[in-house]
Amino acid sequence: MRRLLIAGNWKMNLKLDSAKALAQGLKDAAAGVTEVDIAVCPSPIYVQPVAEILSGSNIGVGAQNAYFEKAGAFTGEIEMAMLTDVGCQYVILGHSERRHIIGESSELINLKVRAALAAGLVPIVCIGELLKEREANVTNDVNRRQLDGSFSGVSAEDMKKCVIAYEPVWAIGTGKVATPDQAQEVHADVRAWIAERYGKEVADVVRIQYGGSVKGSNAAEILSKPDVDGALVGGASLKVDAFMEIINNVKAL
Ligand code: 13P
C-alpha cells in the first residue's frame, strides 16, 4: 500500500519570520499525525532555518529546484549536495512554473532528476498539460512526453524512489480543480507508463501526487481515487489551518 505524501510548495512566498512561524505551527499541529507523510518546500533561502525547526519531527523538508552540476562556477545556482547538507530530503523538479515561466526543458529536468537521485534526494517530478492541450485531447501524450524526457536513463531501482506530481497547468492557482475522475484518468495513464517502462512492481510503489487548487474541501474526494497518492499543495499550504485541514481530511483514507 502506498502512503500518501502531502507536500506544501511555498513557492516564492513568506519571509524569514513567517516561514519560521509556519514551520513551527505545522510542527506543533501535525505532531500526532502518523498516517501520512508530510513535507514542506520553502524558498531556498529559508530551507535551512525551516529544516532546523522541523528536525526530528514528522515533517520533511524539500527545495523547489536545484542545479544538476557538482560544486563549481555556476553563479546563482544551488548544488543538490548543498540541499542535503542543510537537511533537505526532497526536491521539486520540473514544476510547471519552471517549465513555462523560466523555460526549463525536459532534458534539463532529466539532468536534475539524475543529480538529485545521485545525491540521495527524493525528486518530486512535476508534469502537466496546458488548457489548450487538454482541449485538443492530447493530455496523455503531453504527460507521457514529459515523463519520457524527465526520466530518461533513470534505473528501475531509482525510479522506485521518485515521486511524480501531476499538476494540470490550468488548475494551478486558478481555483479550477481537476475533477476526481479527470485526475484518476491521468494518474492511471502515468502508472501505465511506469509499468510499460519499468514493470508492474515498480509502478505499484511509485507515488503519484495530484496538484492544482487542492484544499481541505476537495482533497479527500481526489485523494480517495486509487492512483492518487498524495497532493502537492500551493496556496493552501501557506497557512497552518488550511494545510492541516487537508492532512486531517485525508489521513484516514
Ligand atoms: P495551488 O495549490 O496554489 O493551485 O498550486 C499548486 C502547485 O503548483 C503546487 O506545486
Kindly state the helix (H) or strand (E) to which residue 209 belongs, with its residue range.
Answer: strand 207-211
- Grid coordinates representing 11 are 513557492
Test site for ligand 1: of 96, 208, 213, 243, most ligand atoms within 8 A of the Cβ: 213
> What is the CATH number assigned to the segment(s) 5-250?
3.20.20.70
| pLDDT the model gives residue 147 | 98
Phi-psi region of 213 (alpha: psi -120 to 50; beta: other; left: phi over 0): left
| pLDDT the model gives residue 150 | 97
Our answer on whether the CB atom of 211 is closer than 6 Å to any ligand 1 atom is yes
Cα 98 from Cα 114, distance rounded (Å):
17
Residue position matching grid coordinates 492518487: 228
What distances in angstroms separate CA 176 from CA 155, 164, 212, one per listed residue? Answer: 35, 21, 8
Q: Indicate yes or no: pTM above 0.95.
A: yes
Cα 151 from Cα 70, distance rounded (Å):
20
Cβ contact 53:73 at 8 Å:
no
Our answer on whether the CB atom of 209 is closer than 6 Å to any ligand 1 atom is no
Is 187 catalytic? The answer is no
| pLDDT the model gives residue 24 | 98
Provide the residue-wise pLDDT of the chain in tens; the chain has 253 residues.
799 999 999 999 999 999 999 999 999 999 999 999 999 999 999 999 999 999 999 999 999 999 999 999 999 999 999 999 999 999 999 999 999 999 999 999 999 999 999 999 999 999 999 999 999 999 999 999 999 999 999 999 999 999 999 999 999 989 888 999 999 999 999 999 999 999 999 999 999 999 999 999 999 999 999 999 999 999 999 999 999 999 999 999 9
| pLDDT the model gives residue 176 | 87
Our answer on whether the CB atom of 235 is closer than 6 Å to any ligand 1 atom is yes
| pLDDT the model gives residue 238 | 98
| pLDDT the model gives residue 177 | 87
